[in-house]
């Protein structure tokens, strides 16, 4: 049974109007109407609340509806991608600012020139190590470790570009020479 049909049948069996269900879920009556006609699909939070309200299992509500199962799978993938992008951006900024701050603290002539390249090498070693880890542990379904390795690899690579932008924009000593 499709989700739209199951929702309408459950609501009618509970002798509730669309407005009563909407009030219970704190949403508009039009949302309930769209769900029952199949024009839109409820999000997972509302599905859980509907299953509680109608005393139905989530299996009863969504297993028969391939569209809903596809939506849940798609939403999960999108959320995972957003988490990876956000974590990558945060790590990139942290890496770049840490390296830039370290290099700015160096006083010309007091540090061996090779030491100036250590932060840059570090920002390249982290992504290479992460990519090697990903290649060694490649699977069909990515694990948490693979996602962390992907974030580190992307952050390390983006760090070099961020450092270049910082060096150009702020005219940082050593940074412009190194990068």
- Distance in angstroms (rounded) separating the CA atoms of residues 175 and 171: 8
**Residue range(s) of every CATH 1.10.260.40 domain in the chain:** 1-64
> With 60 as the cut, is the pLDDT of residue 174 above it?
no
Lowest model confidence (mean pLDDT) among 2-6, 95-99, 132-136, 170-174 = 170-174
Q: In the structure encoding, which two tokens stand for residue 163, read together?
A: 């450092």
DSSP 107: P
pLDDT average, residue stretch 27-45: 88
Non-local CB neighbours of 38 within 8 Å, separated by 6+ positions? 2, 3, 4
pLDDT digits (tens, 9 = 90+) for 96-127: 777 666 666 666 656 566 666 666 676 677 77
Residue 173 confidence class, pLDDT cut points 50, 70, 90: low
22 three-class SS: helix
Q: How sure is the predictor about 30, in pLDDT bands with cuts at 50, 70 and 90?
A: very high
What's the whole-number mean pLDDT along residues 139-168?
A: 73
Say whether pLDDT at 56 is over 80: yes
CATH assignment, 1-64: 1.10.260.40
Predicted confidence (pLDDT) at residue 20 exceeds the cutoff of 60? yes
């Amino acid at each position: 049974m499709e989700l739209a049909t199951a929702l309408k049948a459950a609501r009618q069996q509970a002798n509730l109007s669309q407005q009563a269900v909407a009030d219970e879920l704190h949403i508009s009556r039009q949302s309930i109407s769209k769900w029952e006609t199949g024009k839109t699909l409820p999000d997972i939070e509302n599905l859980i609340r509907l299953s509680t309200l109608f005393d139905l299992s989530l299996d009863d509500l969504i297993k028969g509806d391939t569209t809903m199962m596809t939506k849940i799978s798609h939403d999960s993938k999108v959320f995972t991608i957003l988490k990876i992008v956000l974590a990558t951006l945060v790590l990139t900024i942290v890496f770049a600012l840490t390296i830039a701050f370290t290099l700015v603290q160096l006083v010309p002539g007091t540090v061996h020139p090779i030491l100036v390249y250590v932060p840059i090498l570090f920002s390249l070693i982290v992504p290479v190590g992460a990519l090697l880890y990903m290649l060694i542990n490649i699977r069909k379904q990515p694990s948490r470790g693979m996602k962390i390795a992907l974030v580190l690899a992307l952050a390390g690579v983006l760090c070099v570009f961020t450092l270049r932008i910082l060096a150009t924009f702020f005219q940082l000593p050593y940074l412009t020479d190194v990068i």
